[in-house]
Structure 1
Amino acid sequence: MLNKHQSTFVLVDVQGRLAEIVHESSRMEQNLVKLIRALKILDVPIVWLEQYPEGLGPTSPAVAVHLNGLEPIKKMTFNGCYNPEFMKKTEDQGRQQIIVGGIEAHVCVCQTSLGLKKAGYEVHVPVDAVSSRTPENKNIGLERMKNAGIIITGVETAVFELLETAESREFKKVIQLLK
């Protein structure tokens, strides 16, 4: 189970026109925003990736507005783990659980998740916080990750695991986000 003291969130490439055309894009963005806002309340660190922003454009404004105080790590590789800055920032968190969300599920999300798993992290991917241009490609990515031992979850499942109890001081704030 996820633990807020052992978790980090990795946001992968929710950028430009691609973010607008992936399957169920607005639903995915809404779920990412809920997750990011909850993670900030719970003090879970966020590492933010952008794939070739000069070509793909910046992170979707609907998501980026909730990342104030953070800077994206630019990458050219599909697997974020090939980027030394990303790996250093991830390692510097000192946490063993990684939640991964973003696009595309069958390319950058999948390859980054597989890389993190290979590096020894316990990786969780919420199905409602990832997407691809087609539902088939999303399913291919999710199946590939699941077969590799990555934990497939949902935004609410992840958030409630991080909360642990309705008695926590953050519960009332977080539950409002999920309504």
Structure 2
Amino acid sequence: MLIEARRSRLVLVDLQASLYAAMTPRPPNFLARIQLLVRAARLLDVPIVATRQYPQGLGPLLPELAAALPPPIPVLDKTTFSCCADDAIGAALAGERDQILLAGIETHVCILQTALDLRARGQVVYVLADACASRSPADHDQALWRLAGEGVRQASVESTVFEWLRTAEHPRFRELIREIRDLPKAGPGA
């Protein structure tokens, strides 16, 4: 099944400065991939929901992400690990868009629990593996393995953007292909 922009909703889970700092080592170009994903979603009219885990203790969203998410994109606070366990977030994820794409922190906690809850609700769930992170690479890998076994699909940021576009004739193709080409390919996470 292809990922379709008209069926997608992007959920950015707990991309907060203090959590981001704890991701060592980060996946290569992690923040750049998140920013590309947000720009593509905005250009292609894919709704975005962002969450913050206990912001009183874990702080605000990454400044780079907060700047890319102007209102009316909701930023919803939670103390639950699964986004679905919070009533307001669960309601924001309901609706006619049945492909839910997850990116954020941490793969083996909030991403995993949210994905499994969404799958149980009958939604098609994609974890964007190169846009998720855990403090331990082993935890990240184990979570991806478990999610695959539970029927949760995985994709990459770049493949998602190309699936949203579907064709080089899409009016946003030239703009997004430049951003994809500009995405650093190697080096430590930034």
**TM-score (normalizing by structure 1):** 0.95
- Counterpart Cα distance in 1 of 2:111 and 2:127: 9
AA matched with 2:84: C
Q: Match for residue 126 of structure 1?
A: 128
Deviation at 1:38, TM superposition (A): 0.7
Consecutive unaligned residues in structure 1, runs of 5 or more:
none
Shift of 1:71: 3.1
1:93-108 matches, cutoff 5 A: 94-108=96-110
Where does 1:45-64 land on structure 2 (aligned, <5 Å)? 45-64=47-66
| 2:77 partner letter | K
Q: Which runs of 5+ in 2 are unaligned?
A: 182-190
Q: Which amino acid aligns with 2:90?
A: M
Asked whether the 8 Å contact 1:19–1:25 carries over to 2, the reply is: no
Instruction: Give 1:54 shift.
Output: 0.6
Kindly indicate whether the alpha-carbon contact (under 8 Å) linking 1:38 and 1:177 is maintained by their aligned counterparts in 2: no
Residues 48 and 74 in structure 2, CA contact (< 8 A), matched pair in contact too:
no
Tell me the residue number matched to 2:85: 82
Q: Partner of 1:116 in structure 2?
A: 118
| Equivalent in 41, 44, 49 of residue 43 of structure 2 | 41
Query: Number of matched residues?
Result: 178
What RMSD, in angstroms, separates the aligned Cα atoms of the two structures? 1.2
Percent of aligned pairs with the same amino acid:
37
State the alpha-carbon separation in 1 of the partners of residues 18 and 136 from structure 2.
15
Q: Secondary structure at the match of 1:169?
A: coil
Q: Once the 2 structures are TM-superposed, how far is the Cα of residue 16 of structure 1 from its aligned partner?
A: 2.4
TM-score by length of 2: 0.90
Superposition misfits of 4+ residues, deviation over 2 angstroms: none
**In the alignment, which residue of structure 1 is the partner of 2:139?**
137
Aligned-residue offset at 1:26? 6.9
For 1:48 and 1:176, locate their aligned partners in 2 and report how far apart those are by CA, in whole Å. 25
